Amino acid sequence: MTDNEVFSRNKVLTIDTMNPTVKKVEYAVRGPIVQRAVQIEKELREGVKKPFTEVIKANIGDAHAMGQQPITFFRQVLALCSYPELLNDNIFPEDAKNRARHILQACGGSSMGAYSASQGIDCVRQDVARYIERRDGGVPCDPDNVYLTTGASDGIVTMLKLLVCGEGASRTGVMISIPQYPLYSAALAELGAVQVNYYLNEEKCWSMDLSELERSLAEARKHCNPKAICIINPGNPTGQVQSRQCIEDVIRFAAKERLFLMADEVYQDNVYAEGCQFHSFKKVLFELGPQYSNTVELASFHSTSKCYMGECGFRGGYMEVINMDPEVKAQLTKLVSVRLCPPVPGQALMDLVVNSPQPGEPSYTTFMKERTATLSLLAEKAKLTEEILNTVPGITCNPVQGAMYSFPNISLPKKAIKEAKALGQAPDMFYCMKMLEETGICLVPGSGFGQKDGTYHFRMTILPPTDKLKILLAKVKEFHQKFTQQYS
Amino acid sequence: MTDNEVFSRNKVLTIDTMNPTVKKVEYAVRGPIVQRAVQIEKELREGVKKPFTEVIKANIGDAHAMGQQPITFFRQVLALCSYPELLNDNIFPEDAKNRARHILQACGGSSMGAYSASQGIDCVRQDVARYIERRDGGVPCDPDNVYLTTGASDGIVTMLKLLVCGEGASRTGVMISIPQYPLYSAALAELGAVQVNYYLNEEKCWSMDLSELERSLAEARKHCNPKAICIINPGNPTGQVQSRQCIEDVIRFAAKERLFLMADEVYQDNVYAEGCQFHSFKKVLFELGPQYSNTVELASFHSTSKCYMGECGFRGGYMEVINMDPEVKAQLTKLVSVRLCPPVPGQALMDLVVNSPQPGEPSYTTFMKERTATLSLLAEKAKLTEEILNTVPGITCNPVQGAMYSFPNISLPKKAIKEAKALGQAPDMFYCMKMLEETGICLVPGSGFGQKDGTYHFRMTILPPTDKLKILLAKVKEFHQKFTQQYS
Ligand SMILES: Cc1ncc(COP(=O)(O)O)c(C=O)c1O
Ligand SMILES: Cc1ncc(COP(=O)(O)O)c(C=O)c1O
């Protein structure tokens, strides 16, 4: 090769030579709308004139970014763990100090700076196990089945990775709800697995229909090997809370059809609607008796990112695996060891979530006050969102029973649909992009989550502070009316 | 299906049905030796009699677990970021408070609990860019090329994932040094890529030979499509520091042969030997002139886990990509967004590493004292380890020029090799396992990292406190002599 050839060479890594499965990945929650929102924010700072003065982001379940305050106790303990010298001062209550000591004694060299065991710190896994037992009314939990993770995302991707194999018609299929949280579709695309869609029933408040599960599975069996079913409960983006009956149906279905169950339960404390209650898949599984509880394979996921904590940045989480083949478990343990360990501050935080202040401890009252205040406020905002959206002609919104999102159905004029298609855009992407440009409101189009053909939605978090949420809802209303008029 | 069939069904996920690429993954640093060490520790606690009273772990580069103290300033800032109320007290110096404010103002809702941008917090990436510029004598660094990561592991796996594609003879090959850090082999196995070995030259202090690179590449081209070359400098497990000439050779080789360069520089501050110096691949690349600096694609990796910080548990790190195709960069940004963001406390810590106390700031003196003390101690222990190991007949140890490991060559008696093979064990695994059982010392066999056929090694960290290190080295010496006698 001459020097000139060296100089003018093309790149080694190009869009044509790169990993093709990565190219197939889509991730709407941080997609083009959000990138444009960031740009607009920059333009505003630079003095560009807009019909609004700030961007309101309702695109992601990021509670602290929307002004929610952290739980005081958790942060005190984290400060103590970060700088243990503070244990010698009298700034923090005794229970905070005790928790910090409990965590630190379990860290190598009593430092959060040591790698932990790859599966997570022993005592944290034990605390998680006791939490699960309390939550599930005494159903036993073996800490050996608990894996701490880097957020729930990490656990979900790891489990999918274990499950996937095969080529052509024997490629692994994984059933996911539509609408879905796009981590699932992204991970399946990256792993080269087949995404098998089952549709939630919008008419019945986004519940699961057994007949739809059966349809979806029968269809899939024609071209792949369906091995697992994922459920998100409470639901993202749809905000429903599944009934006990629904969960039972899914478990029986998984048992009958030999599917590995993956239960994404990161919103387990986020239940607002009257008559709704969180039922863990594990608890229901055990209530169905040993023929189920001894056989059905289940992985369930939790996170520090949601509920009343909203501590997304710490990337804490855990998964519990039940009835997993011991050889596979050994493989799982090996696999997670390659990344060394989940972040220790996130593990510490997970420990605090499952081992929060108890009655009689000095921090209990404040903790309960903060927790209750956050959850009540979310419940209020869930109601407010549903109510206001349903006053808009052309918008129909199911009750936000849980989680942090509403996913209203929007009717779009034919002309708008045509114009969007001419631009090569999904119609609800066209709608959301226009809303962003005209009002500064950042939502995610339903097409980013999947929806029944010919229906359109957007996802909106209920997280902005109440006054901002009201402004946001008023603007959405106004925009929708204007948009409908413009394209009619 | 009858109920009985449901009850007695086999598992969905078994060793036969699981992802076969995961099965191929090996990870010696946390492999069977370490699992046995954990077991033995438990047995000791339960009162089981052993010829030793404690397990000394020299198997992993985990500084804090070995008693190294965190940098005071870093932990003060992390405590402030965890619990910003502390900003109102006068416990911490002003510069610590300023750094905390600098980080918090860049977090959503001024909280480490908010998700950050997927590429990492803007201001942290800017601080990283300025650090790289200072380090490399002014070579410019664009913060847009900096990605914060969940430890260096995450960055390395992500880059490999982008690179890998193809089937059969066009499968992507990635050149890695042998001995290697087993993250590389594990990630390549998982991705289904071809691991292309090039051997470091043990006789020349584990340096890189151009002729060996050429041999390895020519060989590989017969059966795969080699697209990248990985270099670890300073080296793990081998402890060498590559000369400027070596690095230049590798860059010219990569340019000529059209290989994407991956430079693992997590030990960049860990250089001990006189006459040795750390040269970043980026700096050398730019010194070679625009025909190289404008074309050769490079990703370099750094971490909070090593150097003088040793903050492994926080999982902080960054990568810088140079000359990456803009379309590929967009794909990279999309890919990292699926996992939402790296842990924010780790990002904060990375910021402190690249933006440490400056002369004139109140924490400067203490910071420098702590930093220097840690690095000098490591230098001492590097020397001590080399010297003592070289007094043992049958052990030959290269100077530990940098990083945190020695990787001595051990001669094993024929009889021992035969016995190991009869047990289906690698001979140095047999040796290390015996050492663990008899002395409580936990090392990793060379076979876990790769080595020339017929040679045997172990990897030992230099991290234990000096007094413990001396005991450890004495025990290794005694064991090796006994072992040699026993099998001669
Ligand atoms: C349903 C669901 N699962 C998983 C996650 C991932 O959360 P994290 O990785 O922050 O724990 C989210 C985040 O929004 C989610 O909504
Ligand atoms: C050469 C090398 N690269 C990468 C890593 C990964 O480190 P981390 O993921 O903790 O940053 C290590 C850890 O020991 C290493 O030795």
Under the phi-then-psi rule, with left for phi > 0, alpha for psi from -120 to 50, and beta for the rest, what region is B74? alpha
Could you say which architecture CATH assigns to the domain B20-67+368-486?
Answer: Alpha-Beta Complex (3.90)
- How far apart are the C-alpha atoms of B436 and B441, rounded to whole Å? 5
Instruction: Give percent above pLDDT 90 in chain A.
Output: 89
Ligand 1 midpoint to CA A346 (Å): 14
Closest protein CA for atom 14 of ligand 1: A61
Nearest by CB to A161, from B19, B26, B80: name it.
B19
Q: Is A24 on the interface with B (CB under 8 A)?
A: no
- How far apart are the C-alpha atoms of B390 and B409, rounded to whole Å? 10
* Model pLDDT, residue A32: 84
Under the phi-then-psi rule, with left for phi > 0, alpha for psi from -120 to 50, and beta for the rest, what region is A310? left
* Model pLDDT, residue A9: 60
Domain ranges of chain B: 20-67+368-486, 99-354
Q: How many CA within 13 A on the CB side of residue A483?
A: 31
Which residues partner with B459 through β-bridges? B444
In this predicted model, what pLDDT tens digit does every residue of A150-175 receive, in sequence order?
999 999 999 999 999 888 888 999 99
Task: Report, as an integer, the average pLDDT of A103-119.
Answer: 96
- Of all ligands present, the nearest one to the C-alpha of A303 is 1
Please state which CATH number belongs to domain A99-354.
Answer: 3.40.640.10
| Chain A residues near residue B258 by CB distance under 8 angstroms | 9, 12
Task: Report, as an integer, the average pLDDT of A352-361.
Answer: 97
Q: Is B59 on the interface with A (CB under 8 A)?
A: no
What's chain B look like in SS3? CCHHHHHCCCCCCCCCCCCHHHHHCCCHHHCHHHHHHHHHHHHHHCCCCCCCCCCEECCCCCCHHHCCCCCHHHHHHHHHHHCHHHHHCCCCCHHHHHHHHHHHCCCHHHCCCCCCCCCCCHHHHHHHHHHHHHHCCCCCCCHHHEEEEEHHHHHHHHHHHHHCCCCHHHCEEEEEEECCCCHHHHHHHHHCCEEEEEECEHHHCCECCHHHHHHHHHHHHCCCEEEEEEEECCCCCCCCCCCHHHHHHHHHHHHHHCCEEEEECCCCCCECCCCCCCCCHHHHHHHCCHHHHCCCCEEEEEECCCCCCCCCCCCEEEEEEECCCHHHHHHHHHHHHHCCCCCHHHHHHHHHHHCCCCCCCCCHHHHHHHHHHHHHHHHHHHHHHHHHHCCCCCEECCCCCECCEECCEECCCHHHHHHHHHCCCCHHHHHHHHHHHHHCEECEEHHHCCCCCCCCEEEEECCCCHHHHHHHHHHHHHHHHHHHHHCC
Nearest by CB to B62, from A76, A114, A338: name it.
A114
* Continuous H helices in A358-426: 364-389, 414-422
Nearest by CB to B328, from A18, A66, A190: name it.
A18
The answer to whether B30 contacts A109, with C-beta atoms less than 8 Å apart, is no
Q: Is A465 on the interface with B (CB under 8 A)?
A: no
Taking the CA of residue A317 as reference, the ligand 1 atom at the shortest distance is 11
In this predicted model, what pLDDT tens digit does every residue of A188-204 receive, in sequence order?
999 999 999 999 999 99
- How far apart are the C-alpha atoms of A190 and A19, rounded to whole Å? 9
Provide the shortest C-alpha distance from residue A483 to chain B (in Å).
30
Ligand 1 midpoint to CA B114 (Å): 13
Q: Is B67 on the interface with A (CB under 8 A)?
A: yes
- ipTM of predicted assembly, 2 dp: 0.93
* Model pLDDT, residue A96: 98
Provide the shortest C-alpha distance from residue A30 to chain B (in Å).
7
Would the CB of B152 count as within 6 Å of ligand 2?
yes
- Of all ligands present, the nearest one to the C-alpha of A263 is 1
Structure tokens at B388: 């003592």
Q: Is B151 on the interface with A (CB under 8 A)?
A: yes
* Model pLDDT, residue A467: 93
Tell me the pLDDT of chain B (488 aa) as tens digits.
444 444 446 898 988 888 888 888 887 666 788 889 989 999 999 999 999 999 998 998 999 999 999 999 999 999 999 999 999 999 999 999 999 999 999 999 999 999 999 999 999 999 999 999 999 999 999 999 999 999 999 999 999 999 998 888 889 999 999 999 999 999 999 999 999 999 999 999 999 999 999 999 999 999 999 999 999 999 999 999 999 999 999 999 999 999 999 999 999 999 999 999 999 999 999 999 999 999 999 999 999 999 999 999 999 999 999 999 999 999 999 899 888 999 999 999 999 999 999 999 999 999 999 999 999 999 999 999 999 999 999 999 999 999 999 999 999 999 999 999 999 999 999 999 999 999 999 999 999 999 999 999 999 999 999 999 999 999 999 999 999 999 98
Burial of B203 (0-12, 13-18, 19+ CB in 10 A): exposed
The answer to whether A82 contacts B86, with C-beta atoms less than 8 Å apart, is no
CA distances from A315 to A137, A301, A357, B319, B342 (A): 28, 13, 22, 19, 8
Ligand 2 midpoint to CA B183 (Å): 8
Mean pLDDT of the residues in chain A: 94
* Model pLDDT, residue B9: 60
